[in-house]
Amino acid sequence: MPGHDKKASMPDKSNRQNPGERIAKVMARAGLASRREAEAWIAAGRVAVNDAVINSPALNVTASDRIAIDGQPLPRRERTRLFRYHKPRGLVTTHSDPEGRPTIFAALPKDLPRLISVGRLDINTEGLLLLTNDGGLARVLELPATAWLRRYRVRAKGRVMQPALDNLRAGITVAGVHYGPIEATLDREQGANVWLTIGIREGKNREVRKVLETLDLQVNRLIRVAFGPFELGDLDDGEVKEIESQALGTELGEKIVAEAGADFDAPLIDHDARAVPSRHSGARPQDREPGIQRHDSPPPLDSGAPLRGSRNDKKKQPRRDRTGGPRPKYPRQK
């Protein structure tokens, strides 16, 4: 790295008494990268603390430490923000896909800050996905201990009776993987399909699909309609809307806010004014053309209005199910 020719020492024992925070966590909260990406940048020698290049994330830093990425000072922390996004089918929840499939982040409006997803939805699952600029918040909301209820509307081919669904409340083991209690309600039958409402708290990989296969049900549509206190509501496919900061702290609760270290008092950042390293770990700030997107100034926080480029700009039409029938109503979480 230009301008840095010494390595930082990494004392293990003394670091345990350091009152600061792990450097990858601080970088994630600045909105530059996820903690995993920050650790990769550190391993690649892109990060310096107090003018010394570091090569391990096992370092605590405080507000008095000078942090730089590729020679550029770490931007000041941005206000914690959370967005509701209606993920369409056919998009993968990643920044880049080795198979070249379209991603949610390429489809998002360009006037957003750098965002990461709270968990994932697979390519064939649609509905509510939470996005945030705060890596610490994303991590806490993903933790099994947080145990927020994820609620889905499910269309599946086959027949099932409510007593069989009630048995899922005791949990079930499928192919050696144990799934915790599952709330399942039979809503209605539609031709060869049934519509169900499913509530889970773990969100393991393809959990709903795998569990329903044990009941001879083949899921052909899966829509997440709620994640904890946040609901999909009337968001159109591809639409994204910010949750007002005043309501956000209340909805998250004091415990989650404290564990995540969320900051609702920090300023908004003008993303055109700061040099942000590329999302691709090998790129540098000066390599802007291939790797870095420019953002317009963010819309006023707490406006409650959909962001520019959202589907809400178009005249709304009655939404219909792909089978040709009326689109099912999303039940509100109780």
- Between CA 112 and CA 212 the distance in angstroms is 37
- Between CA 207 and CA 224 the distance in angstroms is 13
- Between CA 144 and CA 268 the distance in angstroms is 30
Token digits of residue 90: 């056919």
**CB-CB contact of 102 with 127 (8 Å):** no
Is 236 noted as a catalytic residue in this protein? no
| CB-facing half-sphere around the CA of 311: CA atoms within 13 A | 16
Q: Region of 92 please: left (phi>0), alpha (psi -120 to 50) or beta.
A: beta
In this structure, the number of other CB atoms found within 10 A of the CB of residue 177 comes to 12
Cα 119 to Cα 129, 201, 311, distances in angstroms: 8, 12, 23
Cα Rg of the chain, angstroms? 22
Residue 94: DSSP 8-state: S
Find the catalytic residue in 5, 65, 111, 122: 122
Q: Which amino acid makes up residue 224?
A: R
Single out the residue of 176, 83, 98 nearest to residue 129, CA to CA: 83
Residues carrying an active site annotation: 122
